[in-house]
Chain A
Amino acid sequence: MTKIVVLVKEVPDAAVQKQVDSSTGRLDRSGEKTLNPFDTHAIEAALQLKESGALDVDEVVAVTVGPSSAVKALHKAVSLGADRSIHLTDDALVGSDVVGTGYALAELIKRESPDLVLAGQQSDDGQSYAVGAAVAEYLGWPGLTQVIKLDVDGQTLTCERQAEYGYDTVKVTLPAVISVGDAINEPRYPSLKAIMGAKKKPLESLSLGDAEIDASKVGEAGRKAVWTGSQEPPAKAAGELIEDEDTAETVEKIVAWLDDRKLI
């Protein structure tokens, strides 16, 4: 029997204008939030491993570190097919950097001792593509990010990904931490029934104390990459914009623009 943990994060909805709090340098987390779209590929990958029988999966557990509002992301994760979820939430976590988040997630994962941890390729807001690698290091497990093909043979995963020089194929022995790229699958939509039933699936909410996580290694206290200020990038001339209403006219405008710049 195997257990899969999927790391999911709550992020600002893509349609919301993102802002930074100018006094702390942190993302302003007010406004509509949603499950990080990249993480739905990790959930889908877990479900496909389970449904295909490639791994004898008895449980898929969604895990998040985030503010109280992040339960919504967990509800979405279970409505997509995770069996239960775990939410680490504590005021002392505010301001955690990549390493602090990785440490906290690893501690939660150790409580579950799964065989496989899956993550998304990037969080829509943090965009560091790095949390999965920090988690792997804290667990002392092999890790690979940006995986777009995953085949299982016993305890060995054969993974493909695109890296700096082309496509790489890497064999990884379980237990492992794999971050999946968005080309790995086409995530399903949750059924209405699953959405309605999501709140009934087990959700464990933990504080740092509950999970016995060292508060000095997370949040502001544990932060080793510290925001110290911000600047505006050099101003760039705004581009021109054409809204296509009449295609013949649009094409005429594009051709004129290109012609003016001797690009034709």
Chain B
Amino acid sequence: MTNILVYALHHEGAINKNSLGAVSKAAELASELGGEAHAVFVGEDVSDDTAGSIGTYGATKAFRVKAPAGVSQPVVDALDAVLESGDYGYVIFGGGLLGFEAGAGLAARRGGGIGVEITGLKVADGKVVAERPILGDTQISDISFEGLGVIAARLNAFEPKESGSPVSVEDVDVTLSDAAGKLEVVTRGEQRGADVNIEDAQVLITGGRGLGSAENFSVAEGLAEAFGGSAAVAATRAAVDAGWFPYAGQIGQTGKTVAPKLYLGLGVSGAIQHKVGMQSSDAIVAINKDGNAPIFEFADLGVVGDLHSIVPALAEAIKAKKG
């Protein structure tokens, strides 16, 4: 019997969608392995309702550890303690940032292996095999584990599936490590900038570092205006971290996942962590002056050129077309 443990990321009473996906996948794999999927919540104030609701997605046990949320060391301590108490072969983290950190820490502590950016999981010969895309997603490696297998999934790799009903919650007392005591989360989830809505737009004009400045986002705004009502402007992490655009408008790993009818990237390189948040768009158009930019590998229409000369002219032409 091999059980699978899943770390359930949560914030303000809601479980992260990627954690729900991870639990759903774990439940499916565990039944093939003849085991169960269990979930661990780490936080100061996780309610019975929140933690118990993980049962709906196939977990048969919900463990709750009272410890600070938002940093990885307490998560490693919590998972380590739960692993000690049962027969577990694998730990899965849904796509996020903490999963990479806590996952690597846990694999190191337990002498296991970690696979990151995992997009698929299957059972072969009684063991879980993880699929990891490499080389800009042009190949997929199969990874097996010796000892504990820790899996940090790619964002949106696994969809939540309801397959059970709420479970009761077990509290676990964990003595935190010295390292955990040396981290203090002062603020969490600060929303920088205006509350823009990019999830409901049909057309998303996305500005990247190639726009060059906050002022130049007016180029993207101009194009969005030309498309009209259902268009909005979004951004990459590079542009948001630079303070050029609000965090609420960021697409990717640590931002939003979007699937508009048209995604149009301006000066966006197409890094994996950005791609994972927009690859389900119906049509992807990219304007980038570097012909080797990774975004051209997955754009439906790629334009190699300077956005500053093309975009204003394109906005005019679209306005003219619409009449």
Binding site for B on A (CB under 8 A): 15, 18-20, 25, 97-99, 102-103, 127-131, 133-134, 136-138, 140-146, 148, 158, 162-173, 176, 181-183, 223-233, 236, 239-244, 247-248, 250-252, 254-255, 257-259, 261, 263-264
Binding site for A on B (CB under 8 A): 9, 11, 16, 70-73, 76, 96-98, 100-109, 111-117, 129, 131, 133-149, 152, 177-180, 182-192, 203, 227, 237-238, 240-242, 247, 254, 261-262, 272, 283-285, 291-292, 296, 298-306, 309-310, 313-314, 317-318, 321-322
**Are A226 and B183 in contact (CB-based, < 8 A)?**
no
**Are B112 and A231 in contact (CB-based, < 8 A)?**
no
- Interface SS majority for chain B: mixed
User: In the assembly, what is the distance between CA of A255 and CA of B185, in Å?
Assistant: 49
Q: A164-B98, A230-B141 are in contact. Are A170 and B318 (CB under 8 A)?
A: no
The chain B residue with its CB closest to the CB of A245 is B305
**Are A224 and B112 in contact (CB-based, < 8 A)?**
yes
Q: A99-B114, A145-B101, A244-B306 are in contact. Are A164 and B11 (CB under 8 A)?
A: yes
B99 CB → nearest A CB, Å: 9
User: In the assembly, what is the distance between CA of A154 and CA of B275, in Å?
Assistant: 40
A189 CB → nearest B CB, Å: 19
22 intermolecular pairs with C-beta atoms under 8 Å apart: A98-B116, A134-B105, A142-B180, A145-B100, A146-B97, A163-B98, A164-B9, A164-B16, A164-B96, A164-B98, A166-B190, A168-B70, A170-B183, A172-B184, A176-B182, A225-B114, A228-B143, A244-B305, A244-B310, A250-B305, A257-B301, A261-B283
B140 CB → nearest A CB, Å: 5
Chain A residues near B303 (CB-CB < 8 A): 241-242, 244, 250, 254
The 10 lowest CB-CB distance pairs between A and B, nearest first, are: A244-B305, A224-B113, A225-B113, A165-B189, A183-B241, A130-B104, A133-B104, A173-B182, A166-B189, A137-B108
Option from A128, A162, A227, A241 in Cβ contact (under 8 Å) with B116:
A128
- Interface SS majority for chain A: mixed
B56 CB → nearest A CB, Å: 21
**Are B296 and A244 in contact (CB-based, < 8 A)?**
no
Chain A residues near B146 (CB-CB < 8 A): 223-224, 226
**Are A170 and B186 in contact (CB-based, < 8 A)?**
yes
The chain A residue with its CB closest to the CB of B11 is A165
**Are A224 and B317 in contact (CB-based, < 8 A)?**
no
Q: A142-B179, A183-B238, A229-B142 are in contact. Are A236 and B298 (CB under 8 A)?
A: yes
Option from A168, A173, A242 in Cβ contact (under 8 Å) with B301:
A242
Q: A162-B241, A165-B189, A264-B322 are in contact. Are A240 and B141 (CB under 8 A)?
A: no
**Are A137 and B192 in contact (CB-based, < 8 A)?**
no
**Are B104 and A128 in contact (CB-based, < 8 A)?**
yes
Q: Which of B115, B117, B152, B298 has the most CB of A within 10 A?
A: B115
User: In the assembly, what is the distance between CA of A120 and CA of B111, in Å?
Assistant: 24
Q: Which of A137, A143, A164 has the most CB of B within 10 A?
A: A164
Chain B residues near A144 (CB-CB < 8 A): 71, 101, 183
The chain B residue with its CB closest to the CB of A232 is B139
A120 CB → nearest B CB, Å: 14
**Are B186 and A169 in contact (CB-based, < 8 A)?**
yes
**Are A240 and B302 in contact (CB-based, < 8 A)?**
yes
Chain B residues near A242 (CB-CB < 8 A): 301-305
